[in-house]
Structure 1
Amino acid sequence: METCKINKKQIYTMLIACITPIVICALLNISLVYAFLLSVLFALIISLKNGFTIKELKHMILKEINECKSLYVVILLIGATVSVWLSSGVVPSMIFYGLKYMNGMNILFSSFLLIAISSVFMGTAVGTISTIGIAILGIGKGFEIPTGLLVGVIVSGAFLADKISPISGLLNLTLATTETSYKEMVKSSLKTIIPTIIICALIYYLIGTKYSNVSGSKSSIELMQSIKNEFFISPYFILVPVLIVILSIIGIKSIYCMMSGVVMGSIISIVFQNLKLLDLIKYIFLGFSINSNSAVINETLNSGGVISMISVVIIVMGAIALAAIMQGTGVINYLTKDLIYKIKNKKDLILKTGIISGLLTVITCDQTIGIVVPSRLLKNKYEEIGVDKSILARTISDTGTIIAPLMPWNVNGLIVSLVTGVSCLAYAPFALLCFIAPLMTVIVSNINKRK
Structure 2
Amino acid sequence: MPPLIVIICIALKAPAIPGITIGIIAGAIAAFIFQDVNFGNIVNAGYGGYVSQSGNAMIDELLTAGGLTGMMYSISLTIIAMMFGGIMEKTKQLEVLVNALLKKVKTVGNLVAATAATCITSNMLLPEQYISIVLPGRMYANAYRKMGLHPKNLSRALECAGTVTSPLVPWNTCGAFIKGTLGITPFLYDPYACFNYLTVLTLLVFGYFNITMTKIDEEPETVLQINQLTE
TM-score by length of 2: 0.62
Contact 1:359/1:400 (8 A) holds in 2: no
How far did residue 323 of structure 1 move? 0.8
Who is 1:376 aligned against? 142
Structure 1: stretches of 5+ with no match in the other structure: 1-236, 383-387, 417-421
Who is 1:76 aligned against? none
User: Which one has a bigger Cα radius of gyration?
Assistant: 1
Contact 1:361/1:400 (8 A) holds in 2: no
Structure 2: stretches of 5+ with no match in the other structure: 211-231
How far did residue 371 of structure 1 move? 3.1
Cα distance in 2 between the residues matched to 1:276 and 1:311: 28
Q: What SS is found at the alignment partner of 1:280? A: helix
Who is 1:423 aligned against? 177
More divergent stretch after superposition (348-357 vs 268-277): 348-357
Who is 2:79 aligned against? 317
Q: How big is each residue's C-alpha offset from its partner over 1:422-444, in whole Å with a ceiling of 9 and x where there is no partner?
A: 93555886986554322212345
Cα distance in 2 between the residues matched to 1:286 and 1:378: 40
How far did residue 285 of structure 1 move? 2.4
Cα distance in 1 between the residues matched to 2:159 and 2:71: 22
Q: Is the counterpart of residue 367 in structure 1 residue 162 in structure 2?
A: no
Cα distance in 1 between the residues matched to 2:18 and 2:144: 35
Cα distance in 2 between the residues matched to 1:346 and 1:261: 39
Q: What SS is found at the alignment partner of 2:47? A: helix
Contact 2:120/2:132 (8 A) holds in 1: no
Written as runs of structure 1 = structure 2, the 5 A alignment for 1:136-215 is none
Who is 2:103 aligned against? 341
Query: Identical aligned pairs, as a percentage?
Result: 17
Aligned in 2, Cα 1:278/1:351: closer, same or farther, shift over 3 Å?
closer
Q: What SS is found at the alignment partner of 1:389? A: coil
Who is 1:441 aligned against? 203
The amino acid across from 2:159 in the alignment is T
The amino acid across from 1:319 in the alignment is A
Cα distance in 2 between the residues matched to 1:443 and 1:304: 39
The amino acid across from 1:266 in the alignment is A
Q: Give me the CA root mean square deviation.
A: 4.0
Q: How big is each residue's C-alpha offset from its partner over 1:74-97, in whole Å with a ceiling of 9 and x where there is no partner?
A: xxxxxxxxxxxxxxxxxxxxxxxx
Q: How big is each residue's C-alpha offset from its partner over 1:113-139, in whole Å with a ceiling of 9 and x where there is no partner?
A: xxxxxxxxxxxxxxxxxxxxxxxxxxx
TM-score by length of 1: 0.35
Cα distance in 1 between the residues matched to 2:91 and 2:136: 17
Cα distance in 1 between the residues matched to 2:145 and 2:47: 45
Q: How big is each residue's C-alpha offset from its partner over 1:371-425, in whole Å with a ceiling of 9 and x where there is no partner?
A: 3431313555x5xxxxx736x853x3443233336548xxxx98x9xxxxx9355
Who is 1:243 aligned against? 5
Higher relative contact order (CA 8 A, sep 6+): 1
Cα distance in 2 between the residues matched to 1:279 and 1:349: 50
How many positions carry a matched residue from both structures? 192
Moved over 6 A (4+): 427-432
Contact 2:136/2:158 (8 A) holds in 1: yes
Q: Is the counterpart of residue 389 in structure 1 residue 149 in structure 2?
A: yes
Who is 1:205 aligned against? none
Equivalent in 404, 407, 413 of residue 163 of structure 2: 404
Q: How big is each residue's C-alpha offset from its partner over 1:200-224, in whole Å with a ceiling of 9 and x where there is no partner?
A: xxxxxxxxxxxxxxxxxxxxxxxxx
Aligned in 2, Cα 1:405/1:365: closer, same or farther, shift over 3 Å?
farther
Q: What SS is found at the alignment partner of 1:291? A: coil
Q: What SS is found at the alignment partner of 1:399? A: helix
The amino acid across from 1:423 in the alignment is F
Contact 1:354/1:438 (8 A) holds in 2: yes
Aligned in 2, Cα 1:243/1:431: closer, same or farther, shift over 3 Å?
farther
Q: What SS is found at the alignment partner of 2:65? A: coil
The amino acid across from 1:400 in the alignment is L
How far did residue 297 of structure 1 move? 1.0
Q: How big is each residue's C-alpha offset from its partner over 1:131-151, in whole Å with a ceiling of 9 and x where there is no partner?
A: xxxxxxxxxxxxxxxxxxxxx
